[in-house]
Chain A
Amino acid sequence: MTREQPTSAPMKHLPLAHMVLLLGLAILLALPLLSGGNDYILQVFTHALLLAILALAWNILAISGSISLGHAAFFGVGAYTSGLLSLESGVSPWATIPLAGFAAAVIALGVWLFCRRLRGAYFALATLAFVEIPRVLTDNWDSLTRGSLGLVGLPGLPGLRLGPLYFDIGASSIGSYYFVLVFGLLLLATVTLILRSNLGLALQAIREEETAAASLGIRVQGYRLLALLLSALFSGITGACYAHLVHYIEPGMVYGLHFSAIPVIFAICGGRFTIVGPALAALVLYPLDQFVFHPLLPAGHEFLYGAVIVLAILFLPSGFWGQLRKGQFVSIKTGSIE
């Protein structure tokens, strides 16, 4: 079939975008070399990657049109589930991390109970309020969660043996870094696959015009729930990884506004209608915060996040990556994948 005039001229920006992505990936892969063995740089980027993963997970829900201001609920429940299970039973974190994902998905069912009929602003408000439930419960249920003291001395991630290869993950900064990088790339691939599939089409259709979507046979509520569950699952796993990487968690930290706000900020600044935008924003903004603003302004350096989201919503509502790839919203290839 011939196409006379591709109206939005999508090919023009494509090579630039691809070059940026390839360059970024190369830098990430070579970072342990580039950093010259500097542990601090690696730790900052490990954390940035975790936040990028959280933003990717958050965006699965946002693709369906629901903005959550309470993803700390899933992150925190994931962190606590894996932390407590591995502390109390001595089971390897490799077993407890997936369970943390499921626990977060169960919590998502609780969110669904309240938010099923909510849209837009009201959905956002409800998620903001919902975080208080797991936070206050964790804070007060001392016999189960050890209360506000938090969990200390969490086991790190054990090494993995694959045939003759041994990956030393938790014991060194390089190991942790590559583990999180691989996890991030896997999630990126998963999200890409989801969004390029018919499931992704359904989620976008629901976001754009829910009534029309239903009139075309899309089970709106089913897909909205599915997006929430997937988003919570990956956020929970991220929380669990975080717990085992920093070895210490407490309720005010993992359920704090920080982990609710961070994915919103990164996704909106990066471009919430794109696949990689949220992750890119995390990898740019978090190191910027840590390397530049934190030393300059130890108290209050996170004003950066407030400032960028205010600027983005006022001047660049589709985010910088969305702007760069104008017209290149998440999209099936016009050829089709089979």
Chain B
Amino acid sequence: MWTTVLVSGITLGSFYTLVALGFALIFGVTHTFNLAHGELIVFAGYVAYWMWKTYGVSLLLTFPAAILATLVLCLILQRLFSRLREPMEMNSIVLSFGLAILLQNGMLFFFSGDYRLIRVPLLNQRIHLPGLSLSYGQFTLLTISLLVLALTYVLLHHTYLGKALRATIQDRESAALAGINVRGMGILAFAIGAVLIGLAGPLFGSIHYLYPTAGLQATLIAVTITIFAGVGQIRTLILGGWILGFAESCTVVLLGASWRELVSAIMLLTLLALRPHGILGREEQ
């Protein structure tokens, strides 16, 4: 039984890392706490659902449309966030709280409050490996998540733009002095974040029911993993994602599925209590 828990923990955890990555990147570069992150993922899920339901497009082919939709939305959001003044973190939380409500109601209007799921029968079939059994759904989730994480890692560590992004995350002022266009990096972060959200949304819609307020859980998951990892460290993000995924899987097995939503909340509260100065750790000396 525990291998099943482990497999589902790692699969879920890898997906959670994908959910968190866009949030962490945007936060790291622009110091924007985007509480509407989960709503954007649900929105991308709805776009995929709509294409799948109406036109019978297969799940994998919905990704481009979902990415395009979130890209447009994220660039609009970036314009709004860039108008905010310091303290950026607090102001962005309040602004994105409002944006989340806007998005929720928009989705309620267009897709109604019904629970939707992108049902792909193939995903429920199981693959049997020696000593291990997992579903196609888990396999797809794991492969796509890890692939995207690996690509993002390469982008951040082995391209000029990625290095500029990481420099901005580490120290905005020095980055600006080194000739990096910090504002441009902010737009780029939102754009990459949008791609990651566009990839996470359809996957979310295939493993989890879509409804307008489903985003809050995804936001909490993203915040938790980001606070666990700090920003800019994909390896630590994956570790955080796996720990959260494993903890949730254990909770589901031991206590039942209805307790699952408590895990990320308690993990976040504990992390914050232990690291009260947050991710950037800007404690005065």
Contacts and interface: CB of A to CB of B under 8 A. Distances in A.
- Same complex for A and B? Answer yes
Contacts of B84: 313-314
Contacts of B180: none
A16 to B, nearest CB: 28
A241 interface: no
Contacts of A13: none
Contact of A118 (B93, B100, B256, B272): B272
B216 to A, nearest CB: 6
Interface string B56-89: 0000000000000000000000001001100101
B105 interface: yes
A301 B87 CA distance: 31
Contacts of A40: none
B276 interface: yes
B98 A309 contact: yes
B135 interface: no
A125 B268 contact: yes
A313 B95 contact: yes
Given A300-B109, A303-B105, A313 B87 contact: no
A125 B261 contact: no
Contact of B93 (A124, A257, A302): A124
Contact of B97 (A126, A264, A314): A264
A119 B280 CA distance: 13
A131 to B, nearest CB: 8
Interface in A106-122: 113-122
Interface string A146-163: 000000000000000000
Contact of B33 (A125, A257, A309): A125
Contacts of B35: 128
A67 interface: yes
Interface string B250-283: 0000001011011011101110110011100000
A114 B272 contact: yes
Given A129-B269, A133-B266, A310 B223 contact: no
Q: Which of B33, B100, B108 has the most CB of A within 10 A?
A: B108
Interface in A292-336: 297, 299-303, 305-310, 313-314
Contacts of A309: 94-95, 97-98, 101
Contact of B273 (A69, A117, A261): A117
A303 B33 CA distance: 21
B91 interface: yes
B265 A122 contact: no
Nearest to B36: A306
The bracket for how many chain B residues form the interface is 35 or more
A171 B210 CA distance: 41
B83 A314 contact: yes
B34 to A, nearest CB: 12
Contact of B262 (A114, A119, A133, A261): A133
Contact of B98 (A118, A132, A136, A306): A306
A282 B67 CA distance: 38
A129 B105 contact: no
A328 B172 CA distance: 37
Contact of B269 (A124, A126, A265): A126
B150 interface: no
Q: Is the interface of A mostly helix, strand, loop or mixed?
A: helix
A92 to B, nearest CB: 34
A265 B101 CA distance: 10
A281 interface: no
A32 B95 CA distance: 37
Contact of B276 (A118, A139, A308): A118
A116 B278 CA distance: 14
Contact of A121 (B90, B109, B270): B90
A309 B277 CA distance: 27
A310 to B, nearest CB: 4
A257 B216 contact: yes
Contact of B106 (A121, A257, A261, A300): A300
A131 B95 CA distance: 20
A303 B223 contact: no
A306 B90 contact: no
B176 interface: no
Given A136-B258, A303-B105, A313-B84, A129 B265 contact: yes
A81 B98 CA distance: 30
A306 B270 CA distance: 30
A310 B89 contact: no
Given A67-B90, A121-B87, A265-B98, A132 B262 contact: yes
Contact of A299 (B112, B220, B256): B112
Nearest to B88: A121
Contacts of A38: none
10 contacts: A67-B94, A118-B276, A121-B87, A122-B277, A125-B272, A126-B269, A133-B266, A297-B109, A303-B101, A306-B104
Interchain residue pairs A-B with the least CB separation, the first 7: A306-B102, A306-B101, A300-B109, A309-B98, A132-B265, A117-B276, A121-B89
Given A122-B272, A129-B269, 16 more contacts: A113-B273, A115-B272, A118-B273, A119-B276, A124-B93, A126-B268, A129-B265, A131-B265, A132-B266, A136-B258, A136-B262, A265-B101, A299-B113, A306-B103, A309-B98, A310-B98
